[in-house]
């Protein structure tokens, strides 16, 4: 394997959890809900995925467990914000803190134990092609799932009635309610989807990236995913590009440091946020951009009037 191939492979590995977590949050935010609990949902996915895989010996069961752990954590967020009408920002932060703490508790018996790695896809002949074989045909399954999810979300949001309803609910929940759409139900479904992809992102960390359980192993990736959604101006294609850009910058920075180029690591880790702030500035100066994609009722709770 050439060094370039190795760099590209690590970039994809670094980017996939960001993409997985962010594509779910994009749908959540398009429906008008701001879930700041990605980090918590991810880390719950990571620990439950690792535990299930370790106990059963099956990485796939781990992936499924992680998905359901993410959904369960997100539904707690949904219950609090959609049914009990708590503040979304505060609740999201609480979910993050809860997830980090609870995962530490669940995972205390799994620290240092060997994990199960999700096997890479191997297609005879294709995966052995020079240069592109490993890169295109030999990734782990979650990479393909993340790309399929991105394409699927883009299609559903823009070309299907379900997507139209999600966008309508996120734009103006009062009008959507007046037309007879079940705002709270739509939001619950989107929140659960966001939980599922965050759980998958967590599984990626504990079953692919580093197949073991380390406390707080999400290491702020949930926040980067959150920043990515804003950076992408809520567009799936731009989101994918942003995920690979953020992942790429991160990995290239590591390589650069390895080769002795003096870039402070703090500067690198702040880069996604700097990019997001720049994106926000650009969005707010462009009326149409902010108009078309920004969910107008983002973060506002919806209380039906009767």
Contacts with other proteins by CB under 8 A: the residue count is: 22
Q: How far is the CB of 271 from other proteins (least distance, A)?
A: 28
Q: Which stretch binds other proteins (CB under 8 A): 6-14, 143-151, 167-175, 205-213?
A: 167-175
Q: Residue 300 interacts with other proteins (CB under 8 A)? A: no
CA distance 122 to 268: 34
Q: Which stretch binds other proteins (CB under 8 A): 14-22, 103-111, 205-213, 284-292?
A: 284-292
Token output for 218: 């999400």
Token output for 98: 């809860």
Q: Residue 290 interacts with other proteins (CB under 8 A)? A: yes
Q: Residue 178 interacts with other proteins (CB under 8 A)? A: yes
CA distance 49 to 296: 35
CA distance 299 to 34: 5
Q: Residue 293 interacts with other proteins (CB under 8 A)? A: yes
Q: Residue 60 interacts with other proteins (CB under 8 A)? A: no
Return the closest-CA partner of residue 282 out of 224, 232, 248: 232
Return the closest-CA partner of residue 218 out of 201, 233, 195: 201
Q: Residue 238 interacts with other proteins (CB under 8 A)? A: no
- Which secondary-structure segment (H or E) carries 18? helix 3-30
Q: Residue 168 interacts with other proteins (CB under 8 A)? A: yes
Return the closest-CA partner of residue 209 out of 1, 21, 3: 21
**Residue 69 or 176 having the CB closest to other proteins:** 176
Q: Which stretch binds other proteins (CB under 8 A): 14-22, 52-60, 170-178, 273-281?
A: 170-178
CA distance 27 to 217: 25
Q: Residue 259 interacts with other proteins (CB under 8 A)? A: no
Q: Residue 261 interacts with other proteins (CB under 8 A)? A: no
Residues 295, 234 contacting (CB under 8 angstroms): yes
Q: Residue 176 interacts with other proteins (CB under 8 A)? A: yes
Token output for 210: 């580093």
Q: According to CB under 8 A, which one of 54, 134, 167, 187 is a site residue for other proteins?
A: 167
| Residue 35 DSSP SS3 | coil
Q: Which stretch binds other proteins (CB under 8 A): 87-95, 97-105, 165-173, 224-232?
A: 165-173
**Residue 114 or 306 having the CB closest to other proteins:** 306
Q: Residue 257 interacts with other proteins (CB under 8 A)? A: no
| Residue 247 DSSP SS3 | helix
CA distance 47 to 66: 8
Span 134-163, contacts to other proteins by CB under 8 A: 161
- Which secondary-structure segment (H or E) carries 51? helix 38-56
Residues that bind other proteins (CB under 8 A): 161, 164-165, 167-168, 171-172, 174-176, 178-181, 287, 290-294, 296, 306
């Amino acid at each position: 394997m050439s060094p370039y191939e190795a760099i590209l492979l690590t970039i994809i590995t670094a980017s996939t959890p960001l993409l997985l977590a962010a594509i779910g949050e994009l749908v959540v935010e398009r429906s008008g809900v701001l879930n700041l609990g990605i980090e918590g949902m991810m880390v719950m996915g990571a620990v439950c995925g690792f535990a299930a895989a370790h106990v059963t010996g099956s990485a796939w069961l781990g992936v499924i467990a992680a998905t359901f752990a993410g959904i369960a954590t997100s539904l707690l967020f949904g219950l609090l914000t959609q049914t009990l009408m708590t503040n979304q920002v505060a609740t999201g932060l609480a979910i993050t803190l809860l997830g980090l703490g609870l995962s530490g508790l669940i995972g205390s018996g799994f620290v240092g134990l060997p994990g199960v790695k999700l096997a890479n896809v191997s297609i005879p002949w294709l995966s052995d092609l020079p240069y592109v074989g490993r890169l295109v045909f030999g990734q782990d399954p979650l990479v393909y799932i993340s790309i399929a999810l991105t394409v699927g979300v883009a299609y559903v949001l823009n070309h299907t009635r379900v997507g139209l309803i999600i966008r309508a609910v996120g734009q103006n929940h009062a009008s959507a309610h007046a037309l007879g759409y079940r705002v709270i139900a739509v939001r619950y479904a989107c929140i659960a989807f966001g939980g599922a992809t965050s759980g998958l992102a967590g599984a990626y960390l504990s079953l692919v990236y580093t197949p073991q359980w380390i406390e707080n192993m999400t290491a702020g990736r949930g926040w980067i995913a959150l920043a990515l959604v804003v950076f992408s101006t809520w567009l799936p294609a731009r989101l994918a590009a942003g995920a690979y850009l953020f992942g790429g910058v991160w990995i290239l920075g590591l390589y650069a440091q390895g080769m002795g180029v003096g870039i402070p690591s703090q500067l690198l880790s702040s880069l996604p946020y700097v990019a997001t702030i720049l994106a926000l500035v650009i969005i707010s100066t462009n009326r149409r951009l902010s108009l078309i994609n920004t969910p107008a009722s983002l973060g506002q709770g919806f209380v039906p009037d009767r």
